Structure 1
Amino acid sequence: MGLPTIIGKSKTQVFRFVKERVWKKLKGWKEKTVSRAGRKVLIKSVAQAIPSYVMSCFILHDGLCEEIESMIARFFWGGDACLHWMSWNKLCRPKLIGGLGFRNFKHFNLALVVKNWWRIHTSPETLFVRVFKAVYFSGSSIVEAKRGYRPSYAWSSILKSKWMFEQGRCWRVGNGTKIRI
């Protein structure tokens, strides 16, 4: 599937291939011959889609996300020696409030990993959830799960997104069968 199987201490080295894939794609396009609207379409449809699968499995290092955003911004504005007329954060705003709707990679990465948390929480019968449950939280629910000893980076990423899931979660008593006293 193109994902690293062993992830050591240096996450920057392990996930460098994501940055290189985006760079190869951007380098292949001639930014001087493509209009700004064309660059916007290329960025949204291709360059921002390349790291999506990796980002759905792992939380990428903030520096890596910033480097990718920097490469995309340079391509959008027309090369290395050009002036950037708006900050990347302003370009990432929705179109309705003056941005171009580009993705903020840090926020997008977190949203994709939280989606895995939600999948574990709502679909206990899937193979994905059964494997994680057997390995990491066999005696409890995902809400009560702990990090464990030497967890995979995928599990650590899911647990890092727990705070975001709990921010929007509410609990209902229902019939009372799931209340522990």
Structure 2
Amino acid sequence: MNTNFNFHAKCAGEKITHLAIADDLMLFGRGDYMSMEILADAMEEFSDCSGLEINKDKSNFFFRWQAANTGLGGDQEHFWLPVGFLAGKYLGVPLASSKLNIMHYTPLIDKIASLTKKWTGKNLSYAGKTKLVRSVLQGVECYWLQVFPLPANVRGWVIYICREFLWGTKYPPVSWNDLCLPKDEGGLGFRDLGAWNKALLARNLWNIHVKKDSLWIKWIYSEFLKNRMLWEWTARSRDSPLFKRLLEIREELLTGRARREVEKLLGQWYGSKGAVEAYEWSRPKSERRL
């Protein structure tokens, strides 16, 4: 074995060397010449042993800007793969090594805006627009809400698009918060994005608690929890925005409740009905009943 091959500092505990997602394979290296040479040799050896050829038209080396500026980007001929630029998103969500800003959410906002433009020219009643907002617009962002804590300004943009499409004006006659209440409380049953985001993210707490055979959960216990229980986990400054948000949700759940009660609650939420009951717990309430 090549003595220059080592695990990434955060992957050594679980001995993670690569990620296979759908039909794609990602191999990671330090970004120096030696690491890139090891990866290139490994791929050539794989081809020799398996008889399978790597599709050069669909494969790339991706460098962080620091590595690209060191001149490694000019060695693509030696490594026989072209150097590409890391895609802005993968499997529908953005890739980034730091906290996401509003620019990373542009694809989500643009997708919702494009839908409203297609529908604006049609003769739709308020009932028809309401159904589209509820079933389509608020369904587009669900995958994002399961993965990221959506910033308030991004939620604001999505709400602005939905609201303007519904009323056809920038000056709505009814508060959006009121529209997000159930019909028996005087609303239209739209989902409150902040509460829906919280309900979908809370599923991760349940997964961390029970799915300890998952590679991602094993990695979390190894690198973040340090083999402690989820309930003993304290936030650190270097933790990701997602993990910090999960801890905030955990603290909300624990307020006025024993740990076993929270465990039971999470089990009920994500047993058979998904996040519907979790949303009902977290959504804004109104005393008005029709």
Give your verdict on TM over 0.5: yes
- Could you say which TM-score interval applies, normalised by the shorter chain? 0.7 to 0.9
Distance 2:121 2:258 in 1: 48
Q: List per-residue Cα deviations over 1:42-96 (Å, max 9, x = no partner).
A: 111110011111111111111111121111011111244xx42211011011011
Instruction: Tell whether the 8 Å contact from 2:235 to 2:247 is kept in structure 1 after alignment.
Output: yes
Structure 2 match to 1:106: 194
Structure 1 match to 2:239: 151
Structure 2 match to 1:54: 144
**Is 2:95 aligned against 1:5?**
yes
Structure 2, unpaired ranges of 5+: 1-90, 261-290
For 2:114, which of 20, 24, 38 is the aligned residue? Answer: 24
Q: Which of 1 and 2 has higher RCO (CA within 8 Å, sep 6+)?
A: 1
- The offset of 1:150, in angstroms, is 3.0
Structure 2 match to 1:37: 127
- The offset of 1:129, in angstroms, is 2.0
Instruction: Tell whether the 8 Å contact from 2:208 to 2:230 is kept in structure 1 after alignment.
Output: yes
Distance 1:170 1:156 in 2: 21
Instruction: Tell whether the 8 Å contact from 1:59 to 1:157 is kept in structure 2 after alignment.
Output: yes
Query: What SS does structure 1 have at the residue aligned with 2:190?
Result: coil
Of residues 159-168 and 98-107 in structure 1, the stretch that sits farther from structure 2 once superposed is: 159-168
Q: Aligned residues: percent identity?
A: 28
Structure 1 match to 2:184: 96
Of residues 102-111 and 125-134 in structure 1, the stretch that sits farther from structure 2 once superposed is: 125-134
The 1:85/1:79 distance shift into structure 2, 3 A limit, reads closer
Bigger strand fraction: 2
TM normalised by structure 2 equals 0.53
How many residue pairs get aligned? The number is: 170
Instruction: Tell whether the 8 Å contact from 2:182 to 2:189 is kept in structure 1 after alignment.
Output: yes
TM normalised by structure 1 equals 0.82
Distance 2:106 2:253 in 1: 28
